[in-house]
Amino acid sequence: MGNYRFILSGGGTGGHIYPAIAIANELKRRYPDAEFLFVGAKDRMEMEKVPQAGYKIEGLWITGIQRKLTLKNLLFPIKLISSLMKANSIVSKFKPHAVIGTGGFASGPLLKMATVKGVPCLLQEQNSFAGITNKLLKDKVEKICVAYDGMEQFFPKDKIVKTGNPVRSDLVTLNVTKSEALDYFELDSNRKTLLVLGGSLGARRINQLVADNMAYFESLGLQVIWQCGKGYYDTYKGNQSATIKVHAFLNSMDKAYVAADFIISRAGAGAVSELCLVGKPTFFIPSPVVAEDHQTKNALSLVGHDAAVMIRESELDEKFKGEFEAVLNSAEKQATLSKNIKALALPNATADICDEIEKIIR
């Protein structure tokens, strides 16, 4: 049977959107005649990114609850009722064979109404600390695909399948040579390369760290690929030089990863999954302002396997240079970090998740 209909819902951040798109792409490869519909939150980035990937999307009028008392919170019950009604209409009209939720505001109402109608549903939880939407839905869905051990604290054990997180297909193989990657960024093959990632929007504190330490990196003989984020590019583009390459966004992540000898990164679930595949010595600087501090928990799950170094934002001034040089000056430590982070990679995540989707629709 090839004429399946799938609804995928997840958004708010790239960490929810890109896994959903990866899953849809794999299902489309298996079932070229299948129909797909995405459901997101109006005015969030999925309304732009999903159509760019070639899929239709419907928007719900839904937002999260603010952590402090605001006027937006007073509207939440109205938005929730509106979203549940629209989600009910979407499911009734589209008649999906399965619904897949990857987290985010919109997936709550959509999967709630799908489960009420008896549609088989699957959750994909990217983080080591489960999001509130997925925790609320856990008892109503058939399967929950996770990326970390120990998720029984959040979900029923008999529903959990450890698959890992979907990553971009070009990162699974990395079919580019080191020489090609360095040439692409116009870098020197005789220098070690540091790749700095703060996410597509950038990370203020990581950017400050790089800006304050450019002379320090030069003294260590390093060259830097610095993805500062589109919101910070105008501030830092003047730092561009022969050894400092400043980018708002990196469109060729495979080349950036291959060029790198060391990596500084946030610890979002998608970044962690990619970096496990890449297998380079990595320094995680988790964002301290995300829900449930889940980036710190993601990073600690690797630190516990001696697979990465984590430095909290509040400790950067005190600890960064010492932690950085301890790795830079030890070939043994570099080899250990590379070996251990690579051992945690789950390169078949997208296919394994789609295998579970096939099981629930059969």
Known binding site for UDP-N-acetyl-alpha-D-glucosamine: residues?
13-15, 127, 168, 200, 295
Q: What is the CA radius of gyration of the chain?
A: 21
Q: Which amino acid is at 287?
A: S
Q: How many alpha carbons lie under 13 Å from residue 70 in its C-beta half-sphere? A: 9
CA dist., res. 259 & res. 278, Å (int): 11
CA dist., res. 16 & res. 214, Å (int): 33
Residue 323: count of CB within 10 angstroms of its CB: 16
Q: Which amino acid is at 28?
A: K
Q: Which residues are annotated as a binding site?
A: 13-15, 127, 168, 200, 295
Question: Which whole-number Å values give the CA distances from 357 to 30, 114, 120, in the listed order?
Answer: 12, 15, 9
Task: Give the contacts of 188 (CB within 8 A, at least 6 positions apart).
Answer: 182, 223, 242, 243
Task: Give the contacts of 53 (CB within 8 A, at least 6 positions apart).
Answer: 21, 24, 25
CA angle, corner 146, sides to 145 and 150, nearest 5? 130
For the chain, list the strands marked E by DSSP.
Answer: 5-9, 35-41, 57-60, 98-101, 121-125, 143-146, 160-162, 192-197, 222-227, 244-247, 262-265, 282-284, 309-310
Q: Quick one: residue 293, left, alpha or beta (phi over 0 = left, psi -120 to 50 = alpha)?
A: left
- Report which of 290, 350, 302 is spatially closest to residue 132, judged by C-alpha positions: 290
